[in-house]
Structure 1
């Protein structure tokens, strides 16, 4: 039984023409040999498995061959390979320098190939500088590295640098096809493209994967066998997911995701692959960008057909949602829920890229009843077709031939509002929110009788059930916040008691003490920076030294105003804050300064000191 030789060694290129994907570098080296313009030091840098060491060996053989040698001559006495990862000390470099002085016994040049040269120590680099800059005429150094940035600049300046690029999927797939034909393996183009994509630009990795897959499947290399052996998600999975998204089939989409997880894939792999799938569908929609799709011809035609069913706006929306999930995945505490929520969002997008309406049905074989509450004027009931729903906070308008009439805020306005409410719980009932309504101008028929204040709009609020799995429930909840019924508040019934400035300051200090105990130290300090002053129309005036303190108080003033209005029994108390940056707070440290500060607040203290003949 002959020993098995891996394809990476068996099919290692022997000439520059056999090197895959590095035509510019191989042509440059070949021309340098032909024209005798070869430098004494070369640096080959690039990712793993792209042909750096192979090109170095081919170069060493070609510069020593004169046409009289045998075909299998490898010039072993002229080529010295040194692994800098294990020989990185100064003594190793000194031994190398001693060998460089000896001329070759066979051929013209002695070639020193130093692999992983970035592993040399700093002192070894310095010991190598002089020899690298002025080597003997018969010596050529070829340095290879995967991390060019770790080499010191003095070494880089003494070498000709060749940057090897990653091998494209197309070139790798073509070379794999050539090897498969050489070994008598019948391989599908899609299978070879999957191997090339998995190799990530490294030809050695592609050959290693090829050997493993051939050992698994034998002489018939199919796409299904490759995906099963490499444990990668096939594009059939993503095509099925896309069809379910376009059908708004959330249950089927969740079941597909669960099936993917049961096969051993994680959610991050699934969602990143789905984003890449949307990208592939996007590039297939224009003839000029089809070349960006690195798949076989059969898969490329399949992508073309599927891309015709999707709109660019939908794909852009899907890319944005998928990429957002990809960014949040690692920081999420419930990663599966994050992916499932993303899939629900994707299934709630229409073909034109717009979100579906809340009343649309996302679940198959289920219905959702949205019954809007009705509000009627003090007239006879109208037909359903005559009532015009109002969305948002816009005033309701009824088209009649009557004159326009201005309604002041103190009159009652009844509007028919179509409220769309969606909750994940069973049955809920929401009360209307009372807010102050601005003056409105509406069109309505002339009213012969005055509207009685005692009559209230009849609001019928039936309960409804909504699916907790539907993404439309989230959108309907937002819409409900915009569609809340506004009712006029009579300001004459609000409390408006008078109060003194001393009472205001007392309650002000009490509030500062309360929030200080609760831990709101910054807000308490800001409120304590100035003494509140009572102005006209129950305005509380504060003067602060900077705008930052003003913003902090304005952001937290709701709780303060609610407290003061309750304590002072006055609903019209409001806060006015001005900023005076020239004001500098002077803190009292000495007894004299403390006395002056107390005397400013209460001049009677000075009379007390004189009466009792006190001194500081």
Structure 2
């Protein structure tokens, strides 16, 4: 019986063309090889299981191939390719930085770089999980990474690019790997299923691709597990059962019961799900994802974002058309709140059932909250119809005389029967009140004395400012002390006794007619004053009716705070004190070349 090899290793790509979903990177690498424009250091970063280490090995194999193919691929027949496939090549060194992350490991690697390859053009050093290296190891690696020998190429791989030092990033050619799409994953799984003679349904492979979340290694591991579980027959139902995934059909039934306000059907359906062992938060999360898909289907422009099984797409689109967007958005808010508060709930099942009850009667609540359309129409703004005023003549008045030069001009639009009156701007004389123009029923215009609203407001503001200016009083030492004592009494009434006792120890004195000073003795008093500083300033300004008054805080540090007796010694002070008492300690430190971390 042959030894079993997992699919992730058995079907690991050996050439650039077999790498799935990373064509933007493989094409760039092949062109660099064919044009002999290879960088001395590469950084492959991206999510787990998308082909970073695989591409690094293919690159190391291809650049040392003796018979490079026209399409930029390795020949797989030369000595270099055979030794690579057998794992005996001396030109390729792999280092796992997760377990070899010290300075000594990097120094050992640098020592190996000095030796040229015995056969082939390049010595390739692949450092996986490079973000696990310590800071000192990174620093030891900097110089070699910047100016390596012409035959050395470094390929660094990591899933956490942000943890790598910027000095390392600046010395590498960076390639960002992306997550593998669901369609690419399904196609690759179908190819493997065909080679392994596995009966696999398309929806089952689609579910596996969704569960893997863009990681091909996870998808292949799930495929191996389900094949062992089902004896080589992958169906949609046994895949859902094995992966512990809720079928979308449950949520279609949930939605139907809620739209018809059948609470009993929704509760029985949740009981069925609960008996199968699904946790409540999983139900809430899956239902939220289902409603998100419905909302996406409302607009055909974003329908391609729908990542569901092909057989369900038509049903999603039809259901989305029959469901209002307001209901979906409100339901998503209810589910989001329920999912956030799920962990704090004592009775988990009751918490989920309450969310289902809210969703069942959500449409009724929306109908009650929605305003009556008829009332909205009645409250619409209505424009008053203006009746045109009949004017006998535009060139003469009733007495037959021509109008004066400053008389109002009247223009009549006979086609629309609207009257437009253009009046001259009034001329204001100093010492007189402004007048506004009025039109009489006979068509003549007269003026009557009337104070404009804007001028009236300005006059009131000016009078108020003048009154405040007369009330404002400058600071005096005696009145300031009265205001200070009133403020302390106000704090006593508010039961702030700790603040009162602290303020009583401070000094309050006048510096200028619009500035007073508070002297604090120590940081403790300063902290209490900061809490009441705004209230104190407002109280003093109100007391003197003067908003221009300001406050200045003076801090006087006490001798006890500068040199506290009970302060513990720092590490450096302890060492200095030890050296004063025992001088040989410093001599021992210097001889051993020890460094102290203070």
Q: 1:324 aligns with which of 337, 343, 347?
A: 337
Q: Secondary structure at the match of 2:94?
A: strand
Q: 2:261 aligns with which of 243, 248, 269?
A: 248
1:73 and 2:82 are equivalent in the alignment: yes
- Deviation track 1:244-301 (CA, whole Å, cap 9, x = no partner) reads 1112111221222222222222111111110110011111222222211112321212
* Equivalence map 1:47-62=2 (5 Å): 47-62=47-62
Q: Distance in 1 between matches of 2:138 and 2:317?
A: 54
Q: Secondary structure at the match of 2:157?
A: strand
1:199: which partner in 2? 212
Q: Distance in 2 between matches of 1:305 and 1:187?
A: 28
Q: Distance in 2 between matches of 1:89 and 1:310?
A: 60
Counterpart contact for 1:348–1:355, Cα < 8 Å:
no
1:286: which partner in 2? 299
1:220: which partner in 2? 233
Q: Distance in 2 between matches of 1:355 and 1:336?
A: 28
1:188: which partner in 2? 201
1:160 and 2:167 are equivalent in the alignment: no
Q: 1:89 aligns with which of 89, 102, 106?
A: 102
Q: Secondary structure at the match of 1:237?
A: helix
1:588: which partner in 2? none
Counterpart contact for 2:186–2:209, Cα < 8 Å:
yes
Q: Secondary structure at the match of 1:44?
A: strand
Q: Secondary structure at the match of 1:582?
A: helix
1:354 and 2:366 are equivalent in the alignment: yes
Calculate the aligned-residue CA RMSD, in Å: 3.0
Q: Distance in 2 between matches of 1:69 and 1:200?
A: 33
1:128: which partner in 2? 141
1:486: which partner in 2? none
1:105: which partner in 2? 118
Q: Distance in 2 between matches of 1:280 and 1:56?
A: 38
Q: Secondary structure at the match of 2:124?
A: strand
Q: 1:138 aligns with which of 151, 163, 166?
A: 151
Q: Secondary structure at the match of 1:232?
A: coil
Q: Distance in 2 between matches of 1:3 and 1:356?
A: 68
1:484: which partner in 2? none
- Deviation track 1:579-602 (CA, whole Å, cap 9, x = no partner) reads 885349xxxxxxxxxxxxxxxxxx
2:38: which partner in 1? 38
Q: 1:259 aligns with which of 249, 254, 272?
A: 272
Q: Distance in 2 between matches of 1:314 and 1:580?
A: 56
1:303: which partner in 2? 316
Q: Distance in 2 between matches of 1:260 and 1:84?
A: 45
- Deviation track 1:437-460 (CA, whole Å, cap 9, x = no partner) reads xxxxxxxxxxxxxxxxxxxxxxxx
1:211 and 2:208 are equivalent in the alignment: no
Deviates more, 1:65-74 or 1:247-256: 65-74
Q: Distance in 1 between matches of 2:162 and 2:37?
A: 27
Q: Distance in 2 between matches of 1:150 and 1:291?
A: 35
Q: Secondary structure at the match of 1:308?
A: helix
Change (3 A) 1:581 1:195: farther
User: Structure 1 residue 304: deviation in Å?
Assistant: 2.0
Counterpart contact for 2:207–2:309, Cα < 8 Å:
no
Counterpart contact for 1:349–1:356, Cα < 8 Å:
no
* Equivalence map 1:439-588=2 (5 Å): 581-583=541-543
The TM-score with structure 2 as length reference comes to 0.59
User: Structure 1 residue 215: deviation in Å?
Assistant: 0.9
Counterpart contact for 2:97–2:130, Cα < 8 Å:
yes
User: Structure 1 residue 334: deviation in Å?
Assistant: 3.7
Can you give the 5+ residue segments of structure 2 that lack an aligned partner in the other structure?
A: 68-74, 371-492, 501-530, 545-598
2:487: which partner in 1? none
User: Structure 1 residue 125: deviation in Å?
Assistant: 1.1
Counterpart contact for 1:348–1:356, Cα < 8 Å:
no
Counterpart contact for 1:193–1:294, Cα < 8 Å:
no
1:470: which partner in 2? none
1:7: which partner in 2? 7
Q: Distance in 2 between matches of 1:80 and 1:3?
A: 27
Q: Distance in 2 between matches of 1:105 and 1:74?
A: 13
Q: Secondary structure at the match of 2:366?
A: coil
Q: Distance in 2 between matches of 1:153 and 1:336?
A: 50
Q: Secondary structure at the match of 2:82?
A: coil
- Deviation track 1:385-425 (CA, whole Å, cap 9, x = no partner) reads xxxxxxxxxxxxxxxxxxxxxxxxxxxxxxxxxxxxxxxxx
Q: Distance in 1 between matches of 2:91 and 2:337?
A: 57
Q: Distance in 2 between matches of 1:69 and 1:218?
A: 35
Counterpart contact for 1:267–1:335, Cα < 8 Å:
yes
Q: Distance in 2 between matches of 1:77 and 1:212?
A: 36
Q: 1:236 aligns with which of 249, 263, 277?
A: 249
Counterpart contact for 1:190–1:299, Cα < 8 Å:
no
Q: Secondary structure at the match of 1:143?
A: strand
Q: Distance in 1 between matches of 2:206 and 2:336?
A: 25
Counterpart contact for 1:186–1:220, Cα < 8 Å:
yes
Q: Distance in 1 between matches of 2:245 and 2:368?
A: 33
Give the paired residue count.
Answer: 378
Change (3 A) 1:43 1:349: same
Change (3 A) 1:74 1:314: farther
Q: Distance in 2 between matches of 1:122 and 1:521?
A: 56
Q: Distance in 2 between matches of 1:162 and 1:21?
A: 14
User: Structure 1 residue 22: deviation in Å?
Assistant: 1.2
